[in-house]
Amino acid sequence: MRRAAMTDRASRENERLPYVLLVEDSQTTTALLSKYLAGSYRLLHAKDGADAWDMLERNPDIELVITDINMPRLTGHQLLVKIRKSDEPRFRNLPVIVMTTTDDNVDRNLAFLNGANDFITKPIDEAELQARVNVHYKLAHTIRELEASRRQLAEQATTDPLTRLKNRRAFFENGTKQMAIARRYGTDLSILVADLDHFKRINDTHGHQAGDEALVHIARVLSRMTRTEDTVARIGGEEFAILLPDTNRLGAAVLAERIRTAIERDHFAVGEQALPLTVSIGVASHAVELVDTIDQLLNIADQRLYLAKKHGRNRICVNNEGKSTYAS
């Protein structure tokens, strides 16, 4: 029992070790490096550059590469070029250590030009190998953590914390870009502005947590019913906006009515009590309004949202007269 427990513990500890890919066609060198790095890294082996490239594409957990230069099919230099020219972001900071002979300055210089981080000379010294691998692994690990933090901060700056939709800032950034495209190429661009009806009544009657849950529910419906290229954002307390590239007024109106109907028919409950939800929606399209900025287009959609509210809520409005409104 004790031996089995020790084996299980060793196995779990080994699974937590970082992966290092060794690209080497010599069995002797492979066995030696495996011995030197055992206990600190999990070594994967590729017999040449082509084999290594396949493994890199299939295994995103590889955190460092040690490669020889002269190999069949794909050399170490060619492998370096493929790694550094890849569009995969994870390859950008992948550390690569090249093995060369002591007097091989030509290969060493070419390896640096192709993007090698470091080199180690043959015959391999154990202490030198461990030191170089440790340094580059820790540096790459730190860079990945910093990039992850930067991405997280960028996401937080453009994401509504409650609904996880885009926030007002992100909506206007995307909207400004899409407006420039629509004006330059004469393409369609529409905006929907949706507002949850009687939101204050929900908060006052059922509490703010119920109000938050209602907003999250609306956000899920909007995300479910829109395309990847659309921008769905929470731009106010209970107000949402949807940016629709390549969508004319008719297409936007059809989508608005589908959203209104879906929210009206969807089941939403606070505890065991069913709570009906409805939205009012204003529609504006660039080709019809002939506006210059995303702010102007949003303002027109917002005015039509007000008209939809004025004419009884739970409806959409597509013009400034308020006549073209739809409801169940």
> DSSP assignment of 9-57, as one string?
HHHHHHHTSPEEEEE-S-HHHHHHHHHHHTTT-EEEEESSHHHHHHHHH
Domains of the chain: 2-157 (3.40.50.2300), 168-327 (3.30.70.270)
pLDDT at 14 over 80: no
Catalytic residue, from 63, 213, 238, 257: name it: 238
Strand partners, 270: 273
Q: Is 156 helix (H, G, I), strand (E, B) or coil?
A: helix
DSSP 95: -
pLDDT at 7 over 50: no
Q: Is 122 helix (H, G, I), strand (E, B) or coil?
A: strand
pLDDT at 2 over 60: no
pLDDT band at 327 (very low <50, low <70, confident <90, very high): very low
Average pLDDT over residues 46-61: 93
Percent over 70 (pLDDT), the chain: 92
Active-site residue flag, 128: no
DSSP 319: S
> Looking at residue 162, what is its pLDDT?
95
Element (H, E) at 153: helix 126-158
Average pLDDT over residues 125-136: 92
Is 0.75 topped by the overall pTM? no
pLDDT band at 324 (very low <50, low <70, confident <90, very high): low
pLDDT at 247 over 70: yes
